[in-house]
Amino acid sequence: MTSPTDHGAAAQEPGSGGPLANLTIVDLTQFLSGPYCTQILGDLGARVVKVESPQGDLAREIPPHFVDDSSLYFHAVNRNKKSVVLDLKTADGVRRLMRLIAEADVVIENFRPGVLARLGVSAAQARAADPSLIWCAISGFGQDGPYRDKPAYDMIVQALSGGMSLTGEPGRTAVRAGVPIGDLAAGLYAAVGVLAAVNRRHLTGEGEMVDISMLDCQAAMLTYQMAYHLHSGEVPGRQGSAHDSIPTYRSFRAGDGVEVVVTANTERMWQGLCRALRVDALIGDERFTTNRERFANRHVLWPLLEAAFAAGSAAQWVERLEAEQVPVGVVNTLDRVADDPQVRHRGMVLDLPLGERSVRVMGNPIRTEVSRREGHEPPPRLGADTAAVFSALEEAPEAADPAADGVPSS
């Protein structure tokens, strides 16, 4: 068995490409939650070997936009990875995968529970052969429980978690979040879980099984809203653009049709909001003296503020509110976000080279002194690294093959 720091050392020297440069990760994920997790780790320097079927990650085929025969959906979450093609429906494909896993620090997969084991790829068997191995399984509902075998996608989990019941306008149909938070939150929690397991391995030499449920992640994100329900028994409904505690924490439509978001959540900010909107009389109105009164009378207050915002342009209100030090912003469309000077300054729009052209995607938000890679590798072509990866493995000492017993013959 290799030591906790030996895995992947031949591929990258620690510190040469980011804080995770000594980690080798076998990526058995597709679509969004798993690839998002492994891209985060790859951005931080880990060597990520993405194992795909001969047909490739199904995300390569998602319309409507394609670059070099792969979907932009795929390009958005698969940079800084190598692509290896293996047919896990064959004994040779399973054998080669287990050889790859034998040299890895971490395996990350998002198959439905039990699917890999039926193919002959057993987490328990791999970890028995190498107790320092970290195995992370992302699934809709986790590796146990009554929903274990149910299929799950982002919107299913948003709905079951209760988060979707809070989203949308009061009295109207629930809507899913505009970004796929069910998948993305699971990817984030998985990355945190993997890094916690890596730290534990540094301390003890032992690996870990990390079990990430998309539903668990969404339930955890209910935070104070669920705490309110558990305390009061009240079931909240759609939140719309408002806050369920602070009536001056919401969006308003300016006279030019642009939505303006304000978060006036202190007495100073409330008074600044009134002055900026030229409704100073509301400051002394006994119905709005404190946040408690404003909350109790919010359905009276909101039309007054809406009328004030409608009397000017968004740019005018942003300027006046900023002068009063009231947090404010407009609801940007994605074209404005891509060109936003702060977003650009922080390097959050990446140009990934693809031969003579490039593709623009969103970048890595984790900034430390050594976390930023000097350059990013574009998403790999299907199977582009199969020969190189396995050629390097052939030069390494052959490890015991944990898949030798019970591998299907076809």
- Best-predicted range by mean pLDDT (5-14, 144-153, 371-380): 144-153
Cβ-contact 25, 46 below 8 angstroms: yes
Burial class (CB in 10 A: 0-12, 13-18, 19+), 22: buried
Residue 371's pLDDT is what? Answer: 61
DSSP state letters, 85-113: E--TTSHHHHHHHHHHHHT-SEEEE-PPT
Beta strands per DSSP E along 144-228: 208-213
Cβ-contact 200, 207 below 8 angstroms: no
Residues 216, 219, 223, 227, CA torsion sign: negative
Residue 79's pLDDT is what? Answer: 96
DSSP state letters, 326-338: --EEE---HHHHH
d(CA 235, CA 230): 9
DSSP state letters, 320-372: HHHHTT--EEE---HHHHHT-HHHHHTT-EEEEEETTEEEEEE------TTTS
- Mean pLDDT for 199-223 is 98
Cβ-contact 394, 74 below 8 angstroms: no
Q: At 47, is the secondary structure helix, strand, or coil?
A: strand
Residue 404's pLDDT is what? Answer: 36
Residue 394's pLDDT is what? Answer: 80
Residue 373's pLDDT is what? Answer: 59
The Cβ of residue 246 has, within 10 Å, a number of other Cβ atoms equal to 18
Q: Say yes or no to pLDDT of 347 above 80.
A: yes
pLDDT in tens, 265-306: 999 999 999 999 999 999 999 999 999 999 999 999 999 999
d(CA 310, CA 307): 5
Task: Give me the catalytic one of 183, 211, 216, 339.
Answer: 183
Helix/strand number for the chain, H first, E second = 16, 13
Q: Please work out, in degrees rounded to the nearest 5, the angle formed at the alpha carbon of residue 381 by the alpha carbons of 379 and 387.
A: 115
- Answer left, alpha or beta for residue 218, where phi above 0 means left and psi between -120 and 50 means alpha: alpha
d(CA 271, CA 268): 5
C-alpha dihedral, 75 to 108 to 50 to 118, nearest 10°: -120
Cβ-contact 313, 256 below 8 angstroms: yes
Domain boundaries, the chain: 24-221+348-395, 249-331
- Going by pLDDT thresholds of 50, 70 and 90, the confidence category of residue 355 is confident
Q: At what angle do helices 181-204 and 33-43 cross, to 10 degrees?
A: 50
Cβ-contact 119, 112 below 8 angstroms: no
Listed in sequence order, the residues at least 6 apart from 303 whose beta carbon sits closer than 8 Å to its beta carbon are none
Q: Residues 166-174: contacts with CB within 8 Å, 24+ apart?
A: 166/225, 166/236, 166/237, 166/238, 166/239, 167/238, 167/239, 168/238, 168/240, 169/238, 169/240, 170/237, 170/238, 170/240, 171/238, 172/238, 174/238
Per-residue CA distances from 55 to 59, 87, 407 (Å): 11, 9, 22
Give me the architecture of the 24-221+348-395 domain, per CATH. 3-Layer(aba) Sandwich (3.40)
Paired tokens of 59:
């995300």
Q: Say yes or no to pLDDT of 137 above 80.
A: yes
Residue 330's pLDDT is what? Answer: 96
Give me the architecture of the 249-331 domain, per CATH. 2-Layer Sandwich (3.30)
pLDDT in tens, 140-149: 999 999 999 9
154 belongs to the catalytic site: no
Paired tokens of 215:
């539903």
Residue 357's pLDDT is what? Answer: 85
Q: Please work out, in degrees rounded to the nearest 5, the angle formed at the alpha carbon of residue 56 by the alpha carbons of 158 and 386.
A: 130
- Mean pLDDT for 235-258 is 93
Residue bearing tokens 């194992």:
51
What is the rounded radius of gyration, in angstroms, for the C-alpha atoms of the chain? Answer: 25
- Going by pLDDT thresholds of 50, 70 and 90, the confidence category of residue 395 is low
Q: Say yes or no to pLDDT of 15 above 50.
A: no
